[in-house]
Amino acid sequence: MLLNGLAILAVVLNHASGWGYTAMVYWADRYRPVTVPNFDQVWSPGFYGLVIINQLALFSVPAFLFVAGFFIAYTSRADARGLSWKVVRARITKLLIPYLIWSVFIFVEEALQGKSLSPTEYLSALITGGATGAYFFVPVLFQFYLLSPLIIRLAQGHARALLIAAAVIQLFPMSIFYLKFFGIYLLEGIYAPSWLCIWFMFYFPLGVVVGFRLKSFQIWVERYRPTLITLSIVFAIVSMLETMWVYQSTDNLALAERPFKLSSELYAIVFILAFLSIDVTRRRVSKRLNWLGARSYGIFLSNPVLLEWTARVIRRALPALLSFQLILTIVLTMTSILIIGLIMEGVARSRMRGAYHYLFG
């Protein structure tokens, strides 16, 4: 739960930093006499700060998948028959209903603003997590749950081969990412489907393998703790530098910040291992991270909506704050988590508590 809690905090920070970019470029006319979009503040200290936040947060999706794999391994160990399809179906159903509710909520909200899709487009968006950009993670997780009986069998008898195969599979989409820099362009649709599990193939099996070998894993990470912490810092810095290089080369910030760079993948893996090597259970922060971790799915589903509403309120009521993008990012993060937390606690303690699992998982 601690890693889950840290990961969901990173997710909200990352999404909030996106509104920092919006304030910097597309809402600059609210606090400066300029025409938007305005890119004068690109390469400013605020811009670098947003890039740092974005890149440091890239461990979040890998961490969620690692934790999911770990717990599915733990579940299968508790049952002498291994992992049954009944358990897989229960896991997916528990996550699917809140996902559908929040996706439909977003569709309705956009329809009220004049943006509507065809029935086929709505169905496609539900399948691929297209209601909002962050939701790609849900289909990815579902795919891993469907693959989990096979992954568990391989993890029990062929762990090393499983991890090597998963790493090789993940290298394929990574190579597609880099081909652009050598002037080799494939069909544009190939670059888009983050909702396919092959883009994150390594992390869930890693969690499963660790779940079956927890004691030996704990000994290993504790032995190499200083090395892991040092490498996580090094790869984080390299990831930031590579982001700047890609942006300068392509003038495409969205592409530059994607998590499929080699440096970003290595940072995510090493960061997870480094965090697990540190004993934080006795520290004050552990209580807060556990609270966030226990509510991570509900926060994940609702934070895009809350962040947008909060950002638009600030745009109208407090436009001066838009000029301080890093402060804005922190304010958006803390405000959205506070509001989401109050809503979740309110539902859990009210007469509507029976609806809690349908809304937040």
**pLDDT value of position 260:** 84
Band of pLDDT at residue 67, cut at 50, 70 and 90 = very high
pLDDT tens digits for range 345-356: 999 999 888 899
Token pair for 180: 């652009």
**pLDDT value of position 80:** 52
356-357-361 Cα angle (round to 5): 120
**pLDDT value of position 17:** 96
Please tell me the pTM assigned to this model. 0.93
Report the distance separating Cα 346 and Cα 349, nearest Å: 5
| C-alpha torsion sign, points 103, 107, 113, 117 | positive
Band of pLDDT at residue 289, cut at 50, 70 and 90 = confident
Band of pLDDT at residue 84, cut at 50, 70 and 90 = confident
pLDDT for 252 beyond 90: no
| Residue 1 near residue 289, CB atoms below 8 Å | yes
| C-alpha torsion sign, points 151, 153, 154, 160 | positive
pLDDT for 192 beyond 90: no
Report the distance separating Cα 117 and Cα 331, nearest Å: 33
Q: List the domain boundaries for the chain.
A: 2-360
Neighbours of 334 (CB within 10 A): 14
Of 100, 97, 63, 87, nearest to 145 (Cα)?
87
**pLDDT value of position 201:** 95
Q: What is the CA radius of gyration of the chain?
A: 21
Token pair for 8: 């969901």
**pLDDT value of position 278:** 86
pLDDT tens digits for range 223-249: 999 999 999 999 999 999 999 998 888
pLDDT for 1 beyond 80: no
Mean pLDDT (whole number) for 164-178: 87
